[in-house]
Amino acid sequence: MAESFGTDPARYDRTRPRYPAALIARIAGEGGGDVLDVGTGTGIVARQLRAAGCRVFGLDVDARMAAYAREDGLDVEVARFEDWAPAGRRFDTVVAGQTWHWIDPAAGAAKAAEVLRPGGRLAAFWNVSQPPPDVAEALASAFRTALPGAPLNPWSRTALDGYAAIVGKTAAGIRGVAAFGEPEEWRYGWERTYTRDEWLDQLPTGGGMAILTAAQRAALTDATAEAIEGLGGRFEMGYTALAVTAVVGRGPG
């Protein structure tokens, strides 16, 4: 599933939400410098950090996503982070936007500590959707209609609850590496208005879509379109940008 996003990188880049300016500014201000972007994808995070004054090097498992990111002048290598050979390269910051859950939390934290300079920061973060109750019910109902009996309806519970396990595993992986200090969480809330067409445009980029049949994807698209029409053709989606971050020891002196 992690390698399914490169099927249509232009759509992914066009429709996936960016990260709030406050989070990007904090990462750039509390480390910044030379940044390794793990799971850089099409370069969404990399471009935001580059605009904030950072020098960004990207890493991704999908050659199609890497090729798309390179079109915008980003330096990207294709490799699995846990197996990547940094060849002596060191960084001030390691980031992972919407990707750390695809990485082994223990091996990933150990690799991050290996490539970070003393005082360097690891920041893994996600945009977590938090729709208003009426929007959540409309999207959940569309999912039930299109995929009756499906074991997991992503809109049937609060997404932050679903991310609790990811956050816990990320923090545990960091705590297992002696070089890191105690991890902390940063949270930034923000909102975006979607039209029906904008939401349907991004719908195929969700990771869960990769395991559906073509008929199931079509049914879900149709049911979701009808649900959004019932909301007046547009809706407000709330997000929380949730980061788990820690700093490596600064060494002697």
With CA atoms as reference, report the closest residue to 182 among 167, 197, 171, 194: 171
The pLDDT, as a whole number, for residue 7 is 75
Instruction: Give the Cα separation of 152 and 149 in Å (integer).
Output: 9
Per-residue pLDDT, averaged over 171-178, amounts to: 97
The pLDDT, as a whole number, for residue 95 is 98
Please list, in sequence order, all residues whose beta carbon lies within 8 angstroms of the beta carbon of residue 88, skipping any fewer than 6 positions away.
none
Radius of gyration of the CA atoms of the chain, in A: 19
- Confidence band for 253, pLDDT divided at 50, 70 and 90: very low
194-233 pLDDT per residue, tens: 999 999 999 999 877 878 899 999 999 999 999 999 999 9
Cβ burial of 191 (10 Å; 0-12, 13-18, 19+) is exposed
The pLDDT, as a whole number, for residue 232 is 97
Pick from 19-23, 154-158, 233-237: least confident: 154-158
What is the residue-averaged pLDDT of the chain? 93
Name the residue type at position 82.
E
- Confidence band for 251, pLDDT divided at 50, 70 and 90: very low
The pLDDT, as a whole number, for residue 80 is 96
Contact by Cβ (8 Å): 33, 93: yes
Domain spans, the chain: 5-131+157-194+239-247
The pLDDT, as a whole number, for residue 3 is 52
Kindly state which CATH superfamily the domain 5-131+157-194+239-247 is placed in. Vaccinia Virus protein VP39 (3.40.50.150)
Name the residue type at position 142.
A
Contact by Cβ (8 Å): 235, 131: yes
The pLDDT, as a whole number, for residue 252 is 41
